[in-house]
Chains A and B, each alone.
Chain A
Amino acid sequence: MLDAKIPSGTLDSKWTDFKGHCKLVNPANKRKLEVIVVGTGLAGASAAASLGELGYKVKAFCFQDSPRRAHSIAAQGGINAAKNYQNDGDSIFRLFYDTIKGGDYRAREANVHRLAEVSGNIIDQCVAQGVPFAREYGGLLSNRSFGGTQVQRTFYAAGQTGQQLLIGAYQALERQVALGNVKMYARHEMLEVVKIDGKASGIIARDLVSGKLERHFGHAVLLCTGGYGNVFYLSTNAMGSNVTAAWKAHRNGAAFANPCFTQIHPTCIPVSGDHQSKLTLMSESLRNDGRIWVPKQQNETRKAVDIPEEERDYYLERRYPAFGNLVPRDVASRAAKERCDAGYGVGSSKQAVYLDYADAIERYGKIEVSKEGRTDVSKEEIIALGKQVVKTKYGNLFDMYEKITGENPYEVPMRIYPAVHYTMGGLWVDYELQTTVPGLYALGEANFSDHGANRLGASALMQGLADGYFVIPYTLGNNLADAIYNKAVETTHPAFEEAEKNVSERIQNLMNIKGKQSVESFHKRLGKIIWDKCGMARNKEGLEQAIREVQALKKEFWSDVRIPGEINEMNPELDKANRVADFIELGELMCIDALSRNESCGGHFREEYQTPDGEALRDDTNYMYVAAWEFKADHQWELHKEALNYEVIKPTQRNYK
Chain B
Amino acid sequence: MEHYNMNLTVKVWRQKNSSDKGKFESYPVKNISSEMSFLEMIDVLNEQLIVEGKEPIAFDHDCREGICGMCSMYINGKPHGPWAANTTCQLHMRAFKDGDTVVVEPWRASAFPVVKDLMVDRSAFDRIIQAGGYISVNTGNAVDGNSLPINKDHADSAFAAAMCIGCGACVAACKNSSAMLFLSAKVSHLALLPQGDPERKSRVLNMVAQMDKEGFGACTNTGACEATCPKEISISNIARLNQEYLRASLTAEK
- The reply on B250 being an interface residue by CB < 8 A is no
**Which B residues form the contact surface with A (CB < 8 A)?**
1, 16-17, 33, 35-37, 39-40, 43-44, 47, 49-51, 53-56, 58, 60-70, 83, 85-86, 90, 92, 94, 115-116, 119, 121-123, 125-126, 129-131, 133-146, 148-152, 155-156, 158-159, 162-163, 165-166, 189-190, 193, 195-196
Interface centre among B1, B136, B142 (most CB of A within 10 A): B142
Q: Which of A1-9, A117-125, A357-365, A593-601 contacts B (4 or more CB under 8 A)?
A: A117-125
Q: Could you list some 18 contacts between A and B, CB below 8 A?
A: A66-B123, A68-B126, A69-B62, A69-B63, A71-B68, A74-B67, A121-B142, A127-B142, A160-B67, A171-B129, A175-B134, A272-B35, A400-B66, A406-B35, A473-B139, A518-B50, A569-B17, A572-B58
Chain A min CB distance to B113 (Å): 11
* Docked complex Cα distance between A520 and B47 (Å): 8
Given A50-B138, A121-B142, A570-B58; 6 other pairs, CB 8 A cutoff: A125-B139, A128-B141, A130-B190, A135-B149, A564-B53, A569-B116
* Docked complex Cα distance between A140 and B33 (Å): 48
* Docked complex Cα distance between A186 and B119 (Å): 14
- With A239-B61, A275-B44, A564-B55 already in contact, the answer to whether A128 and B142 are too (CB < 8 A) is yes
Task: Say whether A132 contacts B193, CB under 8 Å.
Answer: yes
- The reply on A653 being an interface residue by CB < 8 A is no
- In the complex, what residues of B have CB within 8 A of residue A140's CB? 146, 149
* Docked complex Cα distance between A572 and B56 (Å): 9
- In the complex, what residues of A have CB within 8 A of residue B152's CB? 135-137, 139
- In the complex, what residues of B have CB within 8 A of residue A297's CB? none
Contact mask for chain A residues 562-603; partner B; CB cutoff 8 A; 1 contact, 0 none: 101100011011000000000000000000000000000000
- In the complex, what residues of A have CB within 8 A of residue B50's CB? 518, 562, 564, 573
- The reply on A499 being an interface residue by CB < 8 A is no
- In the complex, what residues of B have CB within 8 A of residue A200's CB? none
Task: Say whether A73 contacts B68, CB under 8 Å.
Answer: yes
- In the complex, what residues of B have CB within 8 A of residue A272's CB? 35
- With A121-B142, A127-B142, A135-B155 already in contact, the answer to whether A74 and B68 are too (CB < 8 A) is yes
Interface positions, chain A 277-309, Cβ under 8 Å from B, are 277-278, 280-281
* Docked complex Cα distance between A163 and B36 (Å): 25
Task: Say whether A171 contacts B133, CB under 8 Å.
Answer: yes
Task: Say whether B63 contacts A71, CB under 8 Å.
Answer: yes
User: Of all chain A residues, which has the CB nearest B167?
Assistant: A69
Chain A min CB distance to B184 (Å): 16
- In the complex, what residues of A have CB within 8 A of residue B162's CB? 132, 157, 164, 167
A-B Cβ contacts below 8 A, count: 219
Instruction: Enumerate the 6 nearest inter-chain pairs by beta-carbon distance, A residue then B residue, closest first.
Output: A139-B149, A171-B134, A406-B1, A128-B142, A124-B142, A132-B159
Q: Which of A167, A238, A275, A473 contacts B64 (CB 8 A)?
A: A238
Task: Say whether B134 contacts A129, CB under 8 Å.
Answer: yes
* Docked complex Cα distance between A446 and B143 (Å): 30
Task: Say whether B166 contacts A50, CB under 8 Å.
Answer: no
User: Of all chain B residues, which has the CB nearest A49?
Assistant: B139
* Docked complex Cα distance between A139 and B156 (Å): 11
* Docked complex Cα distance between A174 and B125 (Å): 11
Task: Say whether B159 contacts A518, CB under 8 Å.
Answer: no
User: Of all chain B residues, which has the CB nearest A236?
Assistant: B65
- In the complex, what residues of A have CB within 8 A of residue B56's CB? 564, 572-573
Task: Say whether A132 contacts B67, CB under 8 Å.
Answer: no
